[in-house]
Amino acid sequence: MIQRSFPFLLISLLLLTSCDKEMVYDQYVSLENGSWKWNDVAVFEFDITDTLSLNNIFIQVRHSTDYPMSNLYMFVNVKGPNGQFRRDTLNLVLATPEGKWTGIGTGHLRELRLLYKSRTRFGLPGHYNFSIEQAMRKAELPVSDVGVRIERIIPE
């Protein structure tokens, strides 16, 4: 039975991974004990070869519904291949003023994606480093994972 289902499983896996043609990079960092502390830095490193295509860059967050506020401030640091550096402060709105969570999910976990940079090109090929830190007034937050996703914009 297992031998018969293995080819089906392999083909299904290949089809699922090939469907995401726009994806250039998609990675999460899991935070210890589902808690994002002030000194926790989520680091993402990747190489870029395509400097012609336009890309959308997203910051992704998974948080608990025990999150005590409606937003999450973050510092995003980007270091490029020739040492250029950029630091941005982002505000991710996690809940509406009425208290409804803006992310998707069930149970006690919500996932949210914030468009960080729209229609952007990587100026140089090479190694890039993104690091993300929480910038809230609380030393610890119920955030379990932080991620970066880069999608190539495919012309229609």
How far, in Å, CA of 44 to CA of 27, rounded?
7
Tell me the C-alpha distance between 142 and 68, whole Å. 8
Diameter of the chain measured on Cα atoms:
55
131 within a domain of the structure (yes/no): yes
Residue 119 within a domain: yes
Q: Is residue 26 part of a domain?
A: yes
Enclosing domain of residue 53? 22-152
Query: Would you give per-residue pLDDT tens digits along the chain (156 residues)?
Result: 445 544 444 444 444 444 577 899 999 999 999 999 999 999 999 999 999 999 999 999 999 999 999 999 999 999 999 999 999 999 999 999 999 999 999 899 999 999 999 999 999 999 999 999 999 989 999 999 999 999 999 887
Spatial separation of the C-alpha atoms in residues 18 and 31, rounded to whole Å: 29
SS3 34: helix
Within-domain flag for 7? no
Residue 1 placed within a domain: no
Q: How many domains does the chain have?
A: 1
Give the strand pairing for 143-152 and 55-64.
Answer: antiparallel
**pTM for the complete prediction?**
0.84
